[in-house]
Structure 1
Amino acid sequence: MIVPMLKYTFLVFYKEYDEFLHQMQKLGVLHVVTQDIELSEPTKQKYADLQTLEKTIAWLKKRPAPICRQTIEANTKEIITDLINKQNELEELEFQQESVKKAIQKALPWGNFSAPLIKSITNEGISLNFFGTTKKKFEHIQNRFSTVVQVSETGNQVLFVHINSNGQTNQFDAEPMQLPAESYAELEDKLEAITKQIKTINETLDCYAQNCINQLESEHKNLVQSLQFESILQNTQKKAEDKLMLLEGWVPKSKTLLLNHYLEHEHIVHLWRKARPGDKTPVLLRNNRFSKLFEPIGAMFSLPDYAELDLTVFFAPFFMMFFGFCLGDAGYGLLFLIGGGLYKLKAKTEIKPYLSLIQFLGVATILFGAISGTFFGINLITTELSLTAEIRHLFLNPDKMFNLSLILGGVQIIFGLFIKAANQTKQFGFRYALATCGWLIILIGSICYVMLSATEIIPENKLIIYLILGTGGFLIFFFSDPEVNLFARIGKGIWDVYSTVTGIFGDLLSYIRLFALGLSSAILGFVINDIGLQILGSSKILGPVFFVIFLLLGHTLNILISSLGSFVHPMRLTFVEFYKSAGFSGGGQAYQPFETIDGIEEKTNKYK
């Protein structure tokens, strides 16, 4: 659910304003109303410094922390400057290192030649020409010319030099090549020198990581707090020749008691009111322990608008079921349930909610795996097991699972229409929800009529279906938009009928993906088991070993691949089909109170 918000307006004398802001920050309940103000250059620079600090801290935390006896005494600006310089120098040296390594590979076949010696030989009128060719061709050249000397041989490639002292030009069936500018030994020395420089810089950076992270984090907190105050001051309106400071902000209704006590004790002039239509009211969600686990999933799309309903509690059970349907293997679900529980024993506090979510998804997977009769890729419907003999008839075959996916899709779409009607009533009034109620009458009435008449509970009577369609159609055509005239309403109603009918069929067919993904996961598991059994029978000694290894690797990959699809596709069904049926608009702004950095971190960890 969305926590109700109250808008507060404060009027404070300018000499008391700084103390007032500090008290507001300690209370940590006020979400300040911001205005479209151009940031000053100093403020922009502070934001740039903040970004640099965050990147630097994150980069240092990734480095190992060996024992460093060197102490670093410098201010934050000097540390940042030196770190940036050393990072740039390190990148340049690493680039040079790679270049030298490539040069070494090219120089290696030519050996440790002496460039001065070659130059002196050339000065004596003796020319040295270098070539490369195949081994067979070189044997032919060597038989013809005694002035040819092999330098190296790598596989079928031969490098050789032709010593020419008479000035004659000889033609060889070989590729002319250039001698490297530096010999192998010279490049090795250069590589060693660069490696030493890199090691020295890394040692210095490791010392920074050991000694300076706390200092940088402290500076980060101070800078964030400074920017917070600057933001508040920029969004403060000055009245009465700058003698009075006017500040507006939002406070959750559940947190106003402590704020009101402070305001009354300090005699702060203030007004408050409830949120009105058109206000940019921030959104704070408050759900039960189960639904809260799914809030990060909903936040991937958008927070709800303050005026509408929070859909987290409504889509959470469906998302859980759809995940289980897509994965659809009771064995895999059991691994999720047990693995998440065991990891909880040693996991950090902020990770535990995610592990609880995994366990709930595992429960749903066990349920749908039991319904479809799949356990670690074993088809319990066709496999002759004494344990499942008495309950085998309860498992649903693929045809029934296909129908189940459509039924679940239809239930969610109709449920979404109920929520849409509630949303429209909450935001605009009941008459705006009458058209949606018309669709509910048509859909639910038609389904009930077909089911009751098919089971002969009621006789077939076309008058009943005409009454259902007429009642629903009347609401759709005449209440599609209560604010326009009658003819415009009918026109909008006709368009609503066309778009809704085509949309519902398309949305309903989208739920077939639940069946398809569940079937593919089961088939992959079956194929893994089948190949594993073939490996088992291939050898009496090694067969069982490779059988176990293959099953572990195969099912692990299947779990990873299938889990990804089982997470993404239910999310797609939620954000597209369900949100559309529920009339979700979104676009809500998150509630971000003005508070101390320690308070923000504490709440962040608590939320996680």
Structure 2
Amino acid sequence: MIIPMEKITILIFHKVKQAFLSRLQDLGVVHIVHDAHDVSDDILKNMEKRMQAGHAFLKAARKAKNKRGRIYTSAISPKTTGQKEKIEDVFSYVKSYQKIKDAVDKITDKTVKLERDIRNVAPWGELDVDYIKKLKDARLNMRFFICPIKKFKEIMGEDIYCRQISRDKTYVYFVVFERDKRVELACDEFFYPEKNRKDMETESAALRKEKKEKERLIDKLFARAKMVEEYLNKEKTAFAYLSISRNLPAAAENTVYIINGWVPRPQKQKVEAFLENEQAYFYFSQAKPEDMVPVFLLNNRFTRLFEPITNLFSLPKYGTMDLTAFFAPFFTLFFGFCLSDAGYGLVIFILTLFLKRKLPSDKKPLLNLVMILALSTFLFGLVAGNFFGVDLARIGGIKKVVLFNQEQLFNFALILGVIQVLFGMFLKAVSRIRQFGPAAGLSTFGWIIMLCGLLCLTVTKTSVWAIYAGITLILLFNDLKANIFIRIGKGLWELYGISGVFGDVLSYIRLFALGISSSILGLVVNEIALEFRHIPVFGFLITFVILVVGHTGNLLLSGLSSFVHPLRLTFVEFYKNAGFEAGGKAYNPFRQIK
């Protein structure tokens, strides 16, 4: 649900500007509209750089925590020492991290190059670089070549002085000695490094040791991650304050500043009470159609879990309808339909329960969404009769649970498509009635009546009158601002789009197709694995490995498809028929960031 917004205009005297903005930020309710900050402002530019560096530090700390299983908390907390560290001291941890990280990156690059050189010189044995230089000083040049074994036999017959150093199954590694005349060979030449192999190995070991020491220093810095996070929140708060303070429009020879913003209607009284006690003049007004009103979504606990999916596409435009609550049940059902394996649903549910204990609390809403999708997969897998690729309909006591065969699943996918498309049209009609009045929704209701009449033709011939009624509404009410002749012309053009509606419904067949493909892949994995069970000694082990690897791959592949294709049905078919209008800007109040 989109919370209604009230436009607020506040006038303040220039002398109270700083103190007023500070208290307004503490209130944390008003979404202030202001121009983008001046990119040439050095203070704001430096703050942005510090925030970017802080984000990089925290991102690396979280990544290290997940990799090493450590919890990074401040080793010297301000509460335990009785004093707070200065902002400059806290940011010094970030700067130290950047400096050490750059050094680690350079060491890594050097190590990779050295190890590559060590691998490349391995076929040449222990050669002395100094000895090669002495030969060169004595006008005896030593060159290194690599060629196929067959090619080397041809080279041996030529009038050159060469010696084989080593060979493998394919190539020969050999050297050619030349004094005055340069030898030309159709082979790959290898340029020996300027260091001995032992020296390179020693240097590589020293670099690895140095890298570990620096990584330990980074770990110590990561122990201050909590303090850096607090610093970053303060920096964000200060940045928001300065960017607004420096860009407020002024009037009356810069003695009065104007603040324009938006307030959620439920918070209006709170803001009024605050402003009554301030040296400020203010007034509220209603939003106009041309205003860029921020969007604040407020949904129940279940629907709120699906808001990240809404944000993947776009927030709805203010004044339209938030479709999150309406697509959430469909999306849950579609995911289970696409994956449709009770075993996979059970695995996802158990893994999610485990992760809920390990991951921070801010990740729990996402995990709760995954658990709901896992339950949908489990239940749909039971009624579709699929458990890790095993057909439950063939098992005597369990087959009673199976409700659908493949033909029924195909029909069910089409029925779901019809329901969601018609439901989307109904929401579009309701939204237009709310925005523009009762007559604005008649054309869309005409589509619903006409399509329902077409569906009922197989049952009763009298539904033809519903088709005629729907067509009449489409022809007469498609554009309320146009005259009757233009309306009829536009209506005829709209009726041409009925083929698109049928195409939208047919798109839902993908639900059936993905569910079947997941089941077939699981069945194939089982059949391949069972072929190895009769091998003596290791048969059951090989079977187990194939089952684990095969079903894991199928789960990952099918799980991705089960997420992407319901997204497609939601953002294309459902959003189109529901008349979704994108372009909403998120409500972002001027507040203290904690």
Query: Are residues 1:417 and 2:430 paired?
Result: no
Structure 2 CA distance for aligned equivalents of residues 311 and 169 of structure 1: 77
The match for 2:510 among 510, 513, 530 is 513
The match for 2:115 among 78, 101, 112 is 101
Structure 1 CA distance for aligned equivalents of residues 270 and 305 of structure 2: 29
Match of 2:79 in 1: none
Match of 1:605 in 2: none
User: Cα–Cα, structure 1 residues 478 and 183, in superposed 2: closer, same or farther, change >3 Å?
Assistant: same
The match for 1:220 among 232, 246, 255 is 232
The match for 2:552 among 546, 550, 556 is 556
For 1:566, give the aligned amino acid. Answer: S
SS in 2 for 1:307: coil
Match of 2:416 in 1: 408
Instruction: For residue 187 of structure 1, report the CA deviation from its aligned partner.
Output: 3.1
Alignment of 1:451-530 (within 5 A): 451=459, 453=460, 460-461=461-462, 465=464, 467-499=465-497, 501-530=498-527
Q: Would the aligned equivalents of 2:140 and 2:177 in 1 still touch at CA under 8 Å?
A: no
Q: Would the aligned equivalents of 1:111 and 1:183 in 2 still touch at CA under 8 Å?
A: no
Query: Are residues 1:388 and 2:398 paired?
Result: yes
The match for 1:255 among 267, 271, 276 is 267
User: Cα–Cα, structure 1 residues 172 and 239, in superposed 2: closer, same or farther, change >3 Å?
Assistant: closer
Normalised to the residue count of structure 2, the TM-score between the two structures is 0.85
- Cα distance per residue 1:124-153 (max 9 Å; x no partner): 677767666778998999999999766556
Q: Would the aligned equivalents of 1:135 and 1:158 in 2 still touch at CA under 8 Å?
A: no
Query: Are residues 1:307 and 2:322 paired?
Result: no
Instruction: For residue 48 of structure 1, report the CA deviation from its aligned partner.
Output: 3.3
Match of 1:157 in 2: 172
Structure 2 CA distance for aligned equivalents of residues 13 and 260 of structure 1: 18
For 1:514, give the aligned amino acid. Answer: L
SS in 2 for 1:59: helix
Structure 2 CA distance for aligned equivalents of residues 252 and 14 of structure 1: 27
User: Cα–Cα, structure 1 residues 583 and 141, in superposed 2: closer, same or farther, change >3 Å?
Assistant: closer
Deviates more, 1:141-150 or 1:511-520: 141-150
Instruction: For residue 161 of structure 1, report the CA deviation from its aligned partner.
Output: 6.3
Q: CA RMSD in A?
A: 3.8
Query: Are residues 1:24 and 2:24 paired?
Result: yes
The match for 1:236 among 242, 248, 260 is 248
- Cα distance per residue 1:106-127 (max 9 Å; x no partner): 4344444445555556666777
Alignment of 1:539-554 (within 5 A): 539=535, 541-554=537-550
Alignment of 1:157-176 (within 5 A): 157-159=172-174
SS in 1 for 2:259: strand
Instruction: For residue 170 of structure 1, report the CA deviation from its aligned partner.
Output: 11
Instruction: For residue 369 of structure 1, report the CA deviation from its aligned partner.
Output: 2.2
SS in 1 for 2:263: strand
Structure 2 CA distance for aligned equivalents of residues 531 and 279 of structure 1: 62
User: Cα–Cα, structure 1 residues 197 and 547, in superposed 2: closer, same or farther, change >3 Å?
Assistant: closer
Q: Would the aligned equivalents of 1:107 and 1:182 in 2 still touch at CA under 8 Å?
A: no
Instruction: For residue 488 of structure 1, report the CA deviation from its aligned partner.
Output: 1.6
- Cα distance per residue 1:266-306 (max 9 Å; x no partner): 46422112333222111111111111111111111111111
User: Cα–Cα, structure 1 residues 418 and 93, in superposed 2: closer, same or farther, change >3 Å?
Assistant: same
Instruction: For residue 85 of structure 1, report the CA deviation from its aligned partner.
Output: 4.6
SS in 2 for 1:251: strand
Instruction: For residue 222 of structure 1, report the CA deviation from its aligned partner.
Output: 3.5
Deviates more, 1:424-433 or 1:139-148: 139-148
Structure 2 CA distance for aligned equivalents of residues 127 and 336 of structure 1: 65
Query: Are residues 1:191 and 2:201 paired?
Result: no
Structure 2 CA distance for aligned equivalents of residues 114 and 48 of structure 1: 50
For 1:92, give the aligned amino acid. Answer: K
Deviates more, 1:328-337 or 1:402-411: 328-337
SS in 2 for 1:299: helix
- Cα distance per residue 1:410-469 (max 9 Å; x no partner): 011001110000111111222111111111121223334533x2xxxxxx45xx51x323
SS in 1 for 2:55: helix
User: Cα–Cα, structure 1 residues 33 and 202, in superposed 2: closer, same or farther, change >3 Å?
Assistant: same
Deviates more, 1:254-263 or 1:167-176: 167-176
Instruction: For residue 196 of structure 1, report the CA deviation from its aligned partner.
Output: 5.2
Query: Are residues 1:592 and 2:593 paired?
Result: no
Alignment of 1:370-385 (within 5 A): 370-381=382-393, 383=394, 385=395
User: Cα–Cα, structure 1 residues 204 and 481, in superposed 2: closer, same or farther, change >3 Å?
Assistant: same
User: Cα–Cα, structure 1 residues 587 and 184, in superposed 2: closer, same or farther, change >3 Å?
Assistant: same
User: Cα–Cα, structure 1 residues 534 and 201, in superposed 2: closer, same or farther, change >3 Å?
Assistant: closer
For 1:414, give the aligned amino acid. Answer: L
Structure 1 CA distance for aligned equivalents of residues 307 and 52 of structure 2: 28
Structure 1 CA distance for aligned equivalents of residues 74 and 230 of structure 2: 21
Structure 1 CA distance for aligned equivalents of residues 40 and 272 of structure 2: 34
Q: Would the aligned equivalents of 1:138 and 1:158 in 2 still touch at CA under 8 Å?
A: no
Structure 2 CA distance for aligned equivalents of residues 438 and 136 of structure 1: 81
Q: Would the aligned equivalents of 1:406 and 1:512 in 2 still touch at CA under 8 Å?
A: yes
Q: Would the aligned equivalents of 2:356 and 2:367 in 1 still touch at CA under 8 Å?
A: yes
Structure 1 alignment gaps of length 5 or more: 454-459, 599-608
Q: Would the aligned equivalents of 2:74 and 2:226 in 1 still touch at CA under 8 Å?
A: no
Q: Would the aligned equivalents of 1:131 and 1:177 in 2 still touch at CA under 8 Å?
A: yes
Bigger Rg, structure 1 or 2: 1
Deviates more, 1:150-159 or 1:51-60: 150-159
Deviates more, 1:222-231 or 1:297-306: 222-231
For 2:271, give the aligned amino acid. Answer: L
The match for 2:449 among 421, 441, 446 is 441
Structure 1 CA distance for aligned equivalents of residues 528 and 189 of structure 2: 55
Deviates more, 1:539-548 or 1:223-232: 539-548
Identity among equivalent positions (%) equals 36
Structure 2 CA distance for aligned equivalents of residues 590 and 507 of structure 1: 30
User: Cα–Cα, structure 1 residues 322 and 116, in superposed 2: closer, same or farther, change >3 Å?
Assistant: closer
The match for 1:366 among 378, 383, 391 is 378
Structure 2 CA distance for aligned equivalents of residues 137 and 475 of structure 1: 84
Instruction: For residue 518 of structure 1, report the CA deviation from its aligned partner.
Output: 0.8
Match of 2:82 in 1: none
Match of 1:456 in 2: none
Query: Are residues 1:426 and 2:434 paired?
Result: yes
For 1:21, give the aligned amino acid. Answer: L
Alignment of 1:565-604 (within 5 A): 565-598=561-594
SS in 1 for 2:496: helix
Deviates more, 1:301-310 or 1:213-222: 213-222
For 1:405, give the aligned amino acid. Answer: A
SS in 1 for 2:315: coil
The match for 2:283 among 271, 281, 297 is 271
Aligned length: 578
Structure 2 alignment gaps of length 5 or more: 77-84
User: Cα–Cα, structure 1 residues 194 and 9, in superposed 2: closer, same or farther, change >3 Å?
Assistant: same
Q: Would the aligned equivalents of 2:338 and 2:511 in 1 still touch at CA under 8 Å?
A: yes
The match for 2:347 among 335, 338, 353 is 335
Match of 1:6 in 2: 6
Instruction: For residue 195 of structure 1, report the CA deviation from its aligned partner.
Output: 4.2
Deviates more, 1:138-147 or 1:222-231: 138-147
Q: Would the aligned equivalents of 1:110 and 1:183 in 2 still touch at CA under 8 Å?
A: no
Q: Would the aligned equivalents of 2:144 and 2:190 in 1 still touch at CA under 8 Å?
A: yes
